[in-house]
Amino acid sequence: MWSLLGSMSLVVTPVFAMKAGQLETLPGSTLLDLRVDGVFQQCGLPALIDDNAEPKMPRQQLHWGETPMKLSKQAWTLHYSRAPVASTPVAWRNTQPASVDCLAGLKQLVISTNGEAGFLNVKKRPDNNGYITSYTVPDDLFNAHKVVGIHGHWAQGKSASEIRATYGKPDEILETAQGSRYRYWIVKRDNKLPLSVLAVDFDISGPAHSCQKFAVYTTGTDFVQQKLDSLADEWQRVYVID
């Protein structure tokens, strides 16, 4: 998309291949930015929760319904799987049959969360002179953990050509040990100002150039936040007059 800056130059707003609506074709994408309690409500309990805190870090005794868990305030990784999942000594393992409600078309869905994720509150001052902001972290650890990424393993892979036909030419192609990674950026804007960014990766491997795995990352992941910051800096450089 082109826009006129002053009377001298033309400025290009980057156009990315994948559209926000296309994200819905990926299983698990509706879980992005949910809290863990929202994930449990939609998907049931996972087969495993990896607690990423050091073993010596304190853990709290929690209950989801009648199911007890002992987990820390740090980041968790939720594993929904049709097959057994290897675990670490500090992981919570589901002793009951794990839910597969969110595994349509997948054999495994891994959900990354950040801990101590609070809510930003903005209120108008009583004297109407500006605003008061605060950041509150819920005491409920299920509500204080927010989804920042998903990793899906398809039950049946897709070809690289099918990925390109569905989503367009990748914005980036990265080399990996197994082959290559197609990366697509989804950018939400308001009058060209970037508000949010998602990264969508498809891993391509093997002689057939097929994709068995995909991942989606939000700005809760460092490299995505860096992309948003870069786009915001570019917007400010181009459109904001000092």
Domain for residue 226, yes or no?
Answer: yes
Q: Are residues 119 and 164 in the same domain?
A: no
Domain for residue 125, yes or no?
Answer: yes
Q: Are residues 48 and 139 in the same domain?
A: yes
Per-residue pLDDT at 82: 92
Domain boundary, last residue among 92, 119, 144: 144
Q: Are residues 123 and 172 in the same domain?
A: no
Domain for residue 19, yes or no?
Answer: no
Domain for residue 8, yes or no?
Answer: no
Domain for residue 242, yes or no?
Answer: no
Q: Are residues 113 and 158 in the same domain?
A: no
Q: Are residues 109 and 169 in the same domain?
A: no
Domain boundary, last residue among 117, 144, 171: 144
Per-residue pLDDT at 241: 56
Q: Are residues 129 and 61 in the same domain?
A: yes
Q: Are residues 49 and 118 in the same domain?
A: yes
Domain for residue 240, yes or no?
Answer: no
Q: Are residues 46 and 103 in the same domain?
A: yes
Domain boundary, last residue among 126, 144, 162: 144
Question: Is the distance from CB of 50 to CB of 79 less than 8 angstroms?
Answer: yes
Domain for residue 21, yes or no?
Answer: no
Note down pLDDT in tens along the chain; length 242 residues.
334 344 334 445 567 888 889 998 899 999 999 999 999 999 999 999 999 999 899 999 999 999 999 999 999 999 999 998 887 778 999 999 889 999 999 999 999 999 999 988 888 888 888 888 888 999 999 999 999 999 999 999 899 999 999 999 999 999 999 899 999 999 998 888 888 999 999 999 988 899 999 999 998 899 999 999 999 898 888 877 55
Per-residue pLDDT at 120: 84
Per-residue pLDDT at 10: 43
Nearest to 149 by CA among 4, 34, 38: 34
Per-residue pLDDT at 27: 93
Per-residue pLDDT at 132: 87
- Residue 223 half-sphere exposure toward CB, CA atoms < 13 A: 8
| Chain mean position to CA 237 | 28
d(CA 125, CA 167): 46
Per-residue pLDDT at 141: 97
DSSP state of 227: H
Range of the structural domain that residue 65 is part of:
42-144
d(CA 117, CA 37): 13
Instruction: Return the amino acid letter for 12.
Output: V
Q: Are residues 92 and 177 in the same domain?
A: no
Number of domains in the chain: 2
Q: Can you give the pTM of this predicted structure?
A: 0.87
Q: Are residues 108 and 164 in the same domain?
A: no
CA dihedral of 120, 114, 158, 169, whole degrees rounded to 10: 50
Domain for residue 5, yes or no?
Answer: no
Q: Are residues 134 and 156 in the same domain?
A: no
